[in-house]
Amino acid sequence: MEFPETTVSAVAFTPPPPSYTEAIQSPQPLTPPPTYGEAVGVPPLQLNNITSPYPLLSISTEVTPVHQTQQVFVQPSPHQVYPPQLLGWRLGDAPTVINCPHCHHQITTSVLYKPGSAAWGMCCLLTLLGIICGCCLIPCCIQAFQDAHHSCPDCKRFLGTYFR
């Protein structure tokens, strides 16, 4: 088996950088390093040139306090306005503590249970299964099948219904 001829290319040898101690012992240059504009080759910006696309902005070191006063006139309202409340989502099947939207008192609602669609649906289902002679009306007596009608105990006004 023959090996192809390899060519050796000449690589320029660069000496390694000086160590830290050698670098701090060497004399420092007397001229400062070039600025960004000098290093890149951009001419320096002329301050008196009005047509310069990049004007220099100066930041003022002077602070001047500004005092502003504003008078606010409040006109008294003849009656207190309460925002409307959506009570349907708060009412459940048990008495609930809410603020009455009519008399504006914090109350525990009075609940009256009445047979609703769930009770009458169970009655119909029991009748179809052959349970008659009044036994099909048992769901109308069970609270778990009845709708809850909420009212205010103070002003006696209707607040909402929780449907089953």
**Per-residue model confidence (pLDDT) at position 87:** 43
The predicted-structure confidence for 52-68, as pLDDT tens digits, reads as follows 566 666 666 777 777 77
Q: Are strands 158-162 and 110-115 parallel, antiparallel or unpaired?
A: unpaired
Q: Is the pLDDT of residue 108 over 60?
A: yes
Mean pLDDT of 2-12: 60
| Dihedral angle, C-alpha 137, 138, 142, 144, nearest 10 ° | -80
**Per-residue model confidence (pLDDT) at position 105:** 86
**Per-residue model confidence (pLDDT) at position 74:** 75
**Per-residue model confidence (pLDDT) at position 20:** 84
Q: Is the pLDDT of residue 131 over 70?
A: yes
**Per-residue model confidence (pLDDT) at position 76:** 73
Mean pLDDT of 115-123: 89
Work out the burial of residue 119: count CB atoms within 10 Å of its CB; fewer than 13 is exposed, 13-18 middle, 19 or more buried: buried
**Per-residue model confidence (pLDDT) at position 22:** 82
Task: Tell me the pLDDT band of 33, cut-offs 50, 70 and 90.
Answer: confident
Q: Residue 42, CB half-sphere, CA atoms under 13 Å: how many?
A: 7
Q: Indicate the pTM of the whole model.
A: 0.44
The predicted-structure confidence for 60-94, as pLDDT tens digits, reads as follows 677 777 777 878 777 776 665 555 454 445 788 88
The predicted-structure confidence for 149-160, as pLDDT tens digits, reads as follows 999 998 988 888
| Dihedral angle, C-alpha 8, 14, 16, 17, nearest 10 ° | -160
